[in-house]
DNA sequence: ATTAGCACTCTATCATTGTGAGTGCTAAAT
DNA sequence: ATTTAGCACTCACAATGATAGAGTGCTAAT
């Protein structure tokens, strides 16, 4: 474990490096933070910190930069008790103001959130559109499409609209489809898709004996819908905003670095998978550098949280930036925004 | 007007420059294309071309590069009669194969198209989602949402699904909404939104006398829906794919150039507006450099076309790349793809 | 009209050198 | 037993200058 002095110096180095990405030398530390120690002593301490894996040196005669472990320690132990300063409060107020104005459909809300997170953090804003799985069905509608297909429209209690096209073996006239949707609406409205799935399995077992053709058709159809739905749970949309902010980060001031970043976020599928894995955790999550599993993202950090409705997690929002991002500012922003969105949705 | 020799040399310069973005010298032209002229003569011709504004020199002792006017002449007059070569035919076949597999909802089709255009052109793929205005209504559904709002779902005959949330003065129970949707479906299905608008104006005038409360409510509501719909005609989605291809273009091999490109495509609203202005033109459109109105896009060219259904233009697809893009390959790709999509949609 | 020849221009590249920030080590100071 | 001053050493980076090479424009010869 680190002693008090070690912590102080580590904090000073990370803090300074977050300010500007030049390796931090011993002299700078003494100048900026009067610890009452000389550069030589700081050098010794820094040398210790390097040995412990918290700092590293780009080359022998350069200052130190934090390692992932260093950032992790900083975030876990050196950031505590830091309440949002006045400037940040202002930002939170602005976020609140902007969110209040949005009375749109939930996907727009989430898209705007991603933009807002980017604007206020000056990093990349990330947000996943709400998943249907955990929400309650408000309405289902079946529309004939291209002969042997039907267009299925699902509406959740939050007003999330999803549509899928599913193929059929036989053509069903719109009139019958209307009856089927009516039946499905009466039977399943108010349940979560998960619950519906369970119910359908039960119904299917007795179906043949008790129900008529229409109902059995309806149930079979719904099962199909749910299957299609689950199949591409991963194809859910991610909104990533603020791409050009990358160009203002000195961390990525050369082409190959920038290219790496864009490679990383181009494949949204991978990001969704990453975010999905974190969806179960409570509160703000922080992933530093190689802590996330995406190869091309090892020079970046993510600060994310989830938004919910009725206890069920709907999606993820967060900020993606360089490892030396200003965590003390970003964390409250993400935290606050996630809570506000949860709040707004709960009023639906 | 250019004489035959001038055309040949201009063609040679553009062709060579498209191959690699180094200023083209007189020697290279004679080596690559045996015109039976010496470098000195070529130099004289190039000097003339420069005077006419088709070529320019980065500095005194460098070769020439085409100006926007030079590219324009090349595209308009020197590309004629060039049929797709074997390699390109192969590409078109692949596009066809891939498009056939997509049996999904139309937005996915368009999104995939953008990806495909990027893949096959090695530039950026661009595609706008279909507009509803010109399509026929297949289905409308009203769902109560958050008390005094309703969620409106419109389905076009092509299977395009759009949803809007509109606020109400008074709350309407779902039962009434169902009746209203039923009425609207019976009355308006099969008409284009434009036609519906016209009809509504007529109906509204006699409404008070002839119709009951329900019908008048329905019509008033629909008018509202259509208004909301038109308001954000510009907020239609654009899909831009292949961002990382920018990094492989030697034209944008330095940070400031790349930043410019990303600035340009970040604001999708501007792009939609640009594309919307070209929607009325028939066939493949080409915008070279400063011919498009977007400041940050003066180093780029666009090759675009439109896809339609029943004669009405639904949206735009195209390719965005450096001015020295390989027009002879990109044009047939865009042309073919647009036609294929039109074709696929017509089967709906 | 075309071209060979030549002087001239400009860029890109590479090695050289100097500068400065920063370190690690040692010996002196506290 | 810490802490610190002093000093030699390292390394990246910027500035400098020399060189090569590609390309031009002009002039005089074909």
- The string of pLDDT tens digits covering residues A155-204 is 988 888 888 888 887 888 888 888 888 888 988 899 988 888 888 877 77
- B57 Cβ contacts chain C strand, under 7 Å: no
Q: Which residues of B touch A151 (CB under 8 A)?
A: 105, 155, 159, 161
Residue in B134, B216, B139, B214 with CA at minimum distance from that of residue B179: B214
Nucleotide nearest to B62 (CA to C1'): D23
Higher pLDDT, A260 or B338: B338
Listed ranges A92-96, A337-341, B127-131, B279-283; the one with the highest mean pLDDT? A337-341
Q: Using CA atoms, how far apart are residues B225 and B162, in angstroms rounded to an integer?
A: 11
* A105 to B138: CB separation less than 8 angstroms, yes or no: no
To the nearest 5 percent, what fractions of chain B are helix, strand and coil? 55, 20, 25
B159: left (phi over 0), alpha (psi -120 to 50) or beta: left
Residue B234 has pLDDT above 50, yes or no: no
Q: Which residues of A touch B161 (CB under 8 A)?
A: 151, 153, 161, 163
Residue positions counted in chain A: 348
User: Minimum mean pLDDT among A130-134, A187-191, A332-336, B95-99: which range?
Assistant: A130-134
Residue in B222, B142, B213 with CA at minimum distance from that of residue B174: B142
Q: Using CA atoms, how far apart are residues A327 and A82, in angstroms rounded to an integer?
A: 11
- CA–chain centroid gap for B142, Å, is 32
What DSSP state is assigned to residue A134? T
Q: Using CA atoms, how far apart are residues B211 and B201, in angstroms rounded to an integer?
A: 14
Residue burial A220-255, b: 16+ Cβ < 10 Å; e: rest: ebbbbbbeebeeeeeebebbbbbbbbbbebebbeee
Residue with CA nearest C1' of nucleotide D9: A61
In this prediction, residue A12 carries a pLDDT of: 96
Q: Among all residues of chain A, which has the CA nearest to that of B253?
A: A255
Residue in B102, B101, B84, B20 with CA at minimum distance from that of residue B334: B84
Q: Which residues contact A244 (CB under 8 A, 6 or more apart)?
A: B259, B262, B263, B266
Residue positions counted in chain B: 348
Cβ pair B78, B10 in contact under 8 A: yes
- A31 Cβ contacts chain C strand, under 7 Å: no
pLDDT tens digits, one per residue of B254-311: 888 898 899 888 888 889 999 989 988 989 999 999 999 899 999 999 999 999 988 8
- B1 three-class SS: coil
Question: How far does the CA of A37 sit from the C1' of D6, in Å?
Answer: 17
- A303 three-class SS: strand
CA distances from A12 to A56, A208, B200 (A): 15, 72, 69
* A262 to B244: CB separation less than 8 angstroms, yes or no: yes
CA-angle at A133, arms to A127 and A134, nearest 5°: 85
* B255 to A259: CB separation less than 8 angstroms, yes or no: no
Residue A210 has pLDDT above 60, yes or no: no
Cβ pair B200, B219 in contact under 8 A: yes
pLDDT tens digits, one per residue of B117-143: 999 999 999 999 988 877 889 999 998
Chain A touched by B146 (CB under 8 Å): yes
- Residue A180 CB coordination number (10 Å): 21
- Helical pair B4-19 and B39-51, crossing angle rounded to 10 deg: 90
Cβ pair B330, B123 in contact under 8 A: yes
Q: Using CA atoms, how far apart are residues A123 and A247, in angstroms rounded to an integer?
A: 10
* A159 to B138: CB separation less than 8 angstroms, yes or no: no
Q: Using CA atoms, how far apart are residues B147 and B168, in angstroms rounded to an integer?
A: 9
Percentage of residues in chain A with pLDDT exceeding 70?
92
Average pLDDT over residues A284-309: 95
Question: How far does the CA of B50 sit from the C1' of D25, in Å?
Answer: 14
Output Rg (C-alpha) for chain B, integer angstroms. 26
**Minimal C-alpha gap between B14 and chain A (Å):** 27
* A151 to B159: CB separation less than 8 angstroms, yes or no: yes
Percentage of residues in chain A with pLDDT exceeding 90?
50
Residue A85 has pLDDT above 80, yes or no: no
What DSSP state is assigned to residue B129? P
Q: Using CA atoms, how far apart are residues A197 and B254, in angstroms rounded to an integer?
A: 54
Give the bridge partners for A139, in sequence order.
A155
Average pLDDT over residues A85-94: 84
In this prediction, residue B83 carries a pLDDT of: 65
Long-range contacts of range B146-152, CB-CB < 8 Å, 24 or more positions apart?
A: B146/A159, B146/A347, B146/A348, B147/B171, B149/A103, B150/B177, B150/B221, B151/A105, B151/A155, B151/A159, B151/A161, B152/B225
pLDDT tens digits, one per residue of A21-55: 999 999 999 999 878 899 999 999 999 999 999 99
In this prediction, residue A180 carries a pLDDT of: 86
Nucleotide nearest to A46 (CA to C1'): C23
* A263 to B255: CB separation less than 8 angstroms, yes or no: no
Of B139, B143, B259, the CB nearest to A244: B259
Domains, chain B, ordered by start: 4-78 (1.10.10.10), 86-130+237-346 (3.30.450.40), 137-234 (3.30.390.60)
Residue B216 has pLDDT above 70, yes or no: yes
* B204, B208, B214, B217: CA torsion to nearest 10: 50
Q: Which residues of B touch A253 (CB under 8 A)?
A: 255
- A320 three-class SS: strand
User: Minimum mean pLDDT among A54-58, A132-136, A322-326, B334-338: which range?
Assistant: A132-136
- Residue B214 CB coordination number (10 Å): 12
Average pLDDT over residues A295-312: 93
In this prediction, residue A230 carries a pLDDT of: 54
Which stretches within A4-65 are classed as H helix? 4-19, 26-32, 39-51
Q: Which residue has the tokens 């997690």?
A: A313
Kindly tell me the sign of the dihedral angle through the C-alpha atoms of A327, A328, A332, A337: negative
pLDDT band at A218 (very low <50, low <70, confident <90, very high): confident
In this prediction, residue A212 carries a pLDDT of: 63
pLDDT band at B233 (very low <50, low <70, confident <90, very high): very low
Average pLDDT over residues A118-140: 91
- A347 three-class SS: coil
Chain A touched by B165 (CB under 8 Å): yes
Residue in B231, B236, B296, B287 with CA at minimum distance from that of residue B266: B296
Residue A205 has pLDDT above 90, yes or no: no
In this prediction, residue B103 carries a pLDDT of: 62
Average pLDDT over residues A50-68: 96
* Per-chain mean pLDDT for chain A: 88
Q: Using CA atoms, how far apart are residues A295 and A266, in angstroms rounded to an integer?
A: 13
Which stretches within B102-147 are classed as H helix? 106-121
């Amino acid at each position: 474990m680190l002693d008090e002095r070690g912590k102080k110096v580590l904090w000073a180095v990370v803090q300074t490096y977050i300010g500007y990405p030049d390796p931090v030398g011993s002299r700078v530390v003494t100048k900026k933070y009067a610890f009452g120690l000389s550069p030589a002593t700081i050098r010794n301490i820094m040398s210790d910190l390097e040995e412990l894996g918290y700092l590293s040196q780009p080359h022998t005669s350069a200052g130190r930069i934090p390692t992932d472990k260093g950032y992790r320690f900083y975030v876990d132990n050196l950031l505590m008790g830091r309440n949002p300063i006045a400037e940040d409060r202002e930002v939170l107020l602005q976020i609140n103001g902007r969110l209040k104005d949005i009375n749109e459909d939930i996907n727009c809300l989430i898209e705007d959130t991603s933009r807002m997170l980017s604007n206020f953090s000056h990093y990349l804003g990330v947000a996943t559109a709400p998943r249907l799985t955990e929400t309650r069905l408000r309405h289902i509608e079946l529309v004939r499409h291209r002969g042997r297909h039907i267009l299925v429209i699902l509406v959740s209690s939050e007003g999330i609209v999803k549509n899928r096209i599913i193929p059929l073996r036989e053509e069903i006239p719109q009139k019958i489809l209307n009856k089927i949707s009516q039946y499905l609406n009466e039977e399943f409205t108010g349940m979560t898709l998960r619950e519906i799935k369970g119910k359908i399995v039960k119904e299917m077992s007795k179906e043949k004996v008790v129900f008529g053709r229409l109902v059995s058709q309806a149930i079979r159809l719904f099962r199909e819908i749910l299957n299609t739905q689950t199949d591409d749970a991963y194809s859910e949309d991610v909104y990533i905003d603020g791409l050009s902010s990358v160009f203002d980060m000195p961390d990525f001031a050369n082409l190959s670095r920038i290219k790496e970043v864009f490679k990383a976020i181009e494949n949204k599928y991978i990001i969704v998978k990453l975010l999905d894995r974190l969806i179960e955790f409570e509160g703000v999550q922080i992933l530093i550098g190689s802590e996330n599993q995406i190869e091309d993202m090892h020079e970046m950090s993510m600060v994310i949280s989830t938004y919910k409705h009725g206890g069920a997690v709907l999606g993820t929002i967060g900020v993606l930036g360089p490892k030396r991002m200003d965590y003390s500012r970003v964390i409250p922003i993400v935290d606050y925004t996630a809570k506000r969105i949860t709040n707004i949705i709960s009023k639906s």
